[in-house]
Each structure stands twice: as structure tokens, then as C-alpha cells.
Amino acid sequence: MVDFDSPDEEAYERVTNPERFQAVVDAARGMIGEVVKTYEVESTPGNQSVDFPDWIGPFVEVMRLRPSQGAPLTFLFTEFPGVIVRVGDWCVEGLPACGCDACNESPPEIVERLSDLVDAAVEGRFEEELTKRTLTYTVSGRSGSESTERRLVRGEWKRRGVPAVHRWPAWSKR
């Protein structure tokens, strides 16, 4: 029997037209420009080994956005092309998350996810919590909230910092 809902095994190892994700990179750069123009924020080059110590792949640039108040944003632009965004102290998301043909991620949907994360940070609708066992972050929006929880491996919390809850305030406008 053939399962029509599952992609073929080779699709998990294949990336057709990775250039389609350049739209995500372009959108991220546009968002950075708008945020810098609108909010009291310092924009500086970042450092991959400090800002994204778990990233081992090739990258183009790291950009830090540090507001006068609120959750910081840091972007790592990959050669793939793609974007890894850090929101606050502990939330890190890769966009696209995978990029393979089997996952078949949609660039417009990825851009929407990125926009939701950036908007939540600058509008004070982002919170995160680190415990000795879990890392949880919540993005609140106009139609509700979405929480992501990840169990940590034993002792992982130690390299992330002191367990805490951060309810980040909105960024100050210029």
C-alpha cells in the first residue's frame, strides 16, 4: 500500500531551489531597517560564537539589536540562505527550520513567523522562562498566544544562565 501523505525518503535529503528562502533573508533585513528607524535601539555587528554558540554552519553576518528596554533581537544570516533569530535571552529559531523538500516550508509562512517574533519582541508581547528542566517562550498576539516548551538535557540550564522568568516590556519608540 502506498502512503500518499508521506514524502519519499529521498526528499528528506534533497533541497530543491534553496534560493526561494532568500525572500526570508530579504524580509529580515527589511524588518531590521524598520525597527532601527522606529525604535530606540542600538544596531551593532554580533559575534557568532557568543550570540549563537551552537551554530556550526557557514554564515554571512550576525546583527544585534539592543533596545533601550525590552527583549533584544539578534539575527544570524546563513549561507543557505536563511535566518536564525534570537529573541530575548534564550529563544532561538531557525527560519526555515529545515529547508528540505520533505518539509516543504513556505517562504511566505516563514516570513510571517519571523514577523510575529519581531513584533512580539518590540511590542512587549514576548516572555520566556528558564528552569532547570525546561525552556519555555510565549509569543502573544492579537488572536491568542503560542507557547513553545523544550525539555533541557541534564545540566544544560547551567550554560544558559540563572533560571528566571523574563516578561519583556515594549521597546521605546523614537
Phi, psi of 21 (to 5 degrees): -85, 0
**How confident is the model over 58-70, as pLDDT tens digits?**
999 999 999 999 9
Mean pLDDT along residues 101-113: 92
Q: Give per-residue pLDDT as tens, 1-38.
A: 455 667 777 777 888 888 999 999 999 999 999 999 99
pLDDT at 141 (0 to 100): 79
User: Could you state, in order of their start, the residue ranges of all structural domains in the chain?
Assistant: 17-49+57-167
Express each pLDDT in 38-84 by its tens digit: 999 999 999 999 999 989 999 999 999 999 999 999 999 999 999 99
CB 87 within 8 A of CB 120: yes
pLDDT tens profile 121-154 = 999 999 999 999 999 999 997 778 999 999 999 9
- Residue 4 is predicted with a pLDDT of 60
141, three cell numbers: 498576539
How high is the pLDDT of residue 3?
55
Say whether pLDDT at 172 is over 70.
Answer: yes
CB within 8 Å of 52: residues ≥ 6 apart: 62, 74, 76, 84, 86, 92
pTM (global) more than 0.75: yes
